[in-house]
């Protein structure tokens, strides 16, 4: 049967070591080999997804599926930022369906998306959360005009849905931002900041000390905070800063805090 996705990854586990049990990939995605380099968990399987087209272009549709079996531990990321190229009225769409079985752990942590002038990006992440499963999902974006003419992207439309194995909706979030509003530095939208990062820590397992650890993350020029998600679906951590480096450091600190809290 023909796979409808741009990529599909199934992770399994045996003897404490996770692995890619099945994979499917087609243009414009390349799947790298499985790596075991996570200093926090040597049995965790790490896979990088790479764009072979040089980013997202007008009318691109990239769809993905990641399934993690009971007890498996996986880390999926991209090796570099994704450029969302200039468009002429159309849009690009990127969707990922995540299925975390009971006791599974997944980190889906792509690098930032760089929105070029006129770009319009729709993203949607759907997460099915098993009992005692843990899913970390990140999304970071920034605007960039290579001509230095202060032109803005057109629209960033981002959504994430979290459901239980019974299909019950636990939490849903939608963010829709016009480029003109973002570059306008409006209070409540972007203010003086130019980069935004979000890290969703999705689990129905109690995480003692996690809210305090997330809210303690601070640095000069960083505006960050954390909130509980509805449906007891976990937490979301957000960071705003003037550059991607500071946001990246904050997101990395939030990841370490989350994994530490979950291991207690």
Does 22 have pLDDT greater than 90?
yes
**What backbone torsions phi and psi does residue 34 show, to the nearest 5 degrees?**
-70, 135
Which of helix, strand or coil describes residue 257? Answer: helix
What's the confidence (pLDDT) of residue 264?
A: 65
**What share of the chain has pLDDT > 90, as a percent?**
81
Average pLDDT for residues 6-33, to the nearest whole number? 95
In a domain, 225, yes or no: no
In a domain, 45, yes or no: yes
CA 142 vs CA 17, 119, 242, 247: distances in Å: 36, 12, 10, 11
What's the confidence (pLDDT) of residue 182?
A: 87
Average pLDDT for residues 148-162, to the nearest whole number? 93
Does 189 have pLDDT greater than 80?
no
CA-to-CA distance for 243 and 247, rounded, in angstroms? 7
Does 191 have pLDDT greater than 80?
no
Does 133 have pLDDT greater than 60?
yes
CA-to-CA distance for 134 and 104, rounded, in angstroms? 6
In a domain, 222, yes or no: no
Does 148 have pLDDT greater than 90?
no
Vertex 252, ends 250 and 257: CA angle to 5°?
95
Domain that holds residue 106: 7-191
In a domain, 79, yes or no: yes
**What backbone torsions phi and psi does residue 180 show, to the nearest 5 degrees?**
-65, -35
Q: How many domains in the chain?
A: 1
DSSP 126-152: EEEE-TT-EEEEEEEEEE--TT-S---
Residue pair 142/244 in contact by the 8 Å Cβ criterion: yes
* Predicted TM-score of the model (pTM): 0.94
Does 52 have pLDDT greater than 60?
yes
Residue pair 48/78 in contact by the 8 Å Cβ criterion: yes
Average pLDDT for residues 100-113, to the nearest whole number? 96
**191 or 19: whose pLDDT is higher?**
19
Categorize the per-residue pLDDT at 3 as very low, low, confident or very high, splitting at 50, 70 and 90: low
Average pLDDT for residues 3-17, to the nearest whole number? 91
Which residue bears the tokens 């003037």? 242
Does 219 have pLDDT greater than 70?
yes
In a domain, 149, yes or no: yes
CA-to-CA distance for 71 and 12, rounded, in angstroms? 8
Categorize the per-residue pLDDT at 150 as very low, low, confident or very high, splitting at 50, 70 and 90: confident
In a domain, 183, yes or no: yes
Categorize the per-residue pLDDT at 252 as very low, low, confident or very high, splitting at 50, 70 and 90: very high
CA-to-CA distance for 119 and 155, rounded, in angstroms? 7
In a domain, 111, yes or no: yes
In a domain, 36, yes or no: yes
Categorize the per-residue pLDDT at 1 as very low, low, confident or very high, splitting at 50, 70 and 90: very low
């Amino acid at each position: 049967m023909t796979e409808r996705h741009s990529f599909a990854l199934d992770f399994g586990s045996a003897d404490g070591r996770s692995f890619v049990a099945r994979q499917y990939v087609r243009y414009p995605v390349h799947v790298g080999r499985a790596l075991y380099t996570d200093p926090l968990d040597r049995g965790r399987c790490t896979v990088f997804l790479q764009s072979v087209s040089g980013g997202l272009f007008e009318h691109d549709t990239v769809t993905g599926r990641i399934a993690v079996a009971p007890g498996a531990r996986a880390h999926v990321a991209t090796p570099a930022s994704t450029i969302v190229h200039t468009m002429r009225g159309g849009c690009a769409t990127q969707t990922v369906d995540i299925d975390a079985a009971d006791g599974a752990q997944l980190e889906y942590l792509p690098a930032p998306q760089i929105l070029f002038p006129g770009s319009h990006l729709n993203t949607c992440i759907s997460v099915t959360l098993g009992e005692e499963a843990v899913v970390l999902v990140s999304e970071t974006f920034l605007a960039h005009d290579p001509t230095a003419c202060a032109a803005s992207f057109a629209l960033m439309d981002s959504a994430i849905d979290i459901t239980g194995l019974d299909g019950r909706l636990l939490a849903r979030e939608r963010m829709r931002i016009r480029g003109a509003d973002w570059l306008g530095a409006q209070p409540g939208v972007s203010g003086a900041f130019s980069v935004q990062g979000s890290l969703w820590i999705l689990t129905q397992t109690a995480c003692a000390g996690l809210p305090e650890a997330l809210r303690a993350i601070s640095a000069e020029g960083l505006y960050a905070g954390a909130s509980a998600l509805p449906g007891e679906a976990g937490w979301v951590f957000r960071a705003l800063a003037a550059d991607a480096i500071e946001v990246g450091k904050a997101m990395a600190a939030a990841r370490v805090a989350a994994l530490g809290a979950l291991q207690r």
